[in-house]
Amino acid sequence: MSDPSTDPVFYFDFASPNAYFAHRIMPGIEARTGRKFRYVPVLLGGIFKSTGNQAPMIAFAGVPAKLAYEYKEIERFIARHDLKHFNFNPHFPVNTLGLMRGAVAAEGEGVLEPYIEAMFHFMWEAPRKLDDPDVLAATLTEAGLPTERLLAAIQTRDIKQQLMANTQAAVDQGVFGIPSFVVDGELYFGKDRLESLAAELIAPST
């Protein structure tokens, strides 16, 4: 059994379509490298606040050519990896505070993997307004998750503090945006870094 402390880490927030893209292509990387990523929920807004970073649509609002290029790169990435189920969420940006607290709670309940799969699906494939409490509750139930326990846990001090701690730990490791990955103490940012990250995972240790 692998030591979780040495597993590559994927810092994620459902708010990021790029995190969704990474999630969808990571199984192939795990299969090729024999290394499984440890998913760590963080709050992207908290990372932005701590680092002074901004979402591209804000940071490059005055540079339309840059934004147009970013969108073109997304289209290319989708085509390259055949991510044909992707649908941009019409409710974007969705406030994911409750969703990310829910991810922390789901980990405690032992249902993190199905929770992640459901939330990415209903954020970026069959989009819903998941910051609506009623929609979230219905979605959890539809996904077969322990709705009442998760919704209760989201309101607890321990879950709130754990999400804050995860977010601060990411910032302390140099994370400034999502998706971010840490492998053997080295930071990789963005879905486009996954191939170089995979090469690092395959490379023999020296």
Per the CB < 8 A criterion, the answer to whether 107 and 150 are in contact is no
Query: Does pLDDT of 206 surpass 60?
Result: no
Nearest C-alpha neighbor of 37 from the set 206, 176, 198: 198
Q: How far apart are CA 9 and CA 182, in angstroms?
A: 5
DSSP labels for 129-163? -TTSHHHHHHHHHHTT--HHHHHHHHTSHHHHHHH
Nearest C-alpha neighbor of 15 from the set 123, 88, 134: 123
Q: How confident is the model at residue 203 (pLDDT cuts 50, 70, 90)?
A: low
193 Rama sector, left if φ>0, alpha if ψ -120 to 50, beta otherwise: alpha
Q: What would the mean pLDDT of 170-184 be, rounded to a whole number?
A: 94
* pLDDT score for 95: 95
Query: CA-based angle 105:106:107, to the nearest 5?
Result: 90
Q: How confident is the model at residue 70 (pLDDT cuts 50, 70, 90)?
A: confident
Q: How confident is the model at residue 165 (pLDDT cuts 50, 70, 90)?
A: very high
Nearest C-alpha neighbor of 178 from the set 54, 1, 55, 12: 12
More confident residue, 175 or 56: 175
* pLDDT score for 1: 44
Q: Where are the domains of the chain?
A: 6-201
More confident residue, 114 or 35: 114
Q: Which CATH architecture has domain 6-201?
A: 3-Layer(aba) Sandwich (3.40)
Predicted TM-score (pTM) of this structure:
0.91
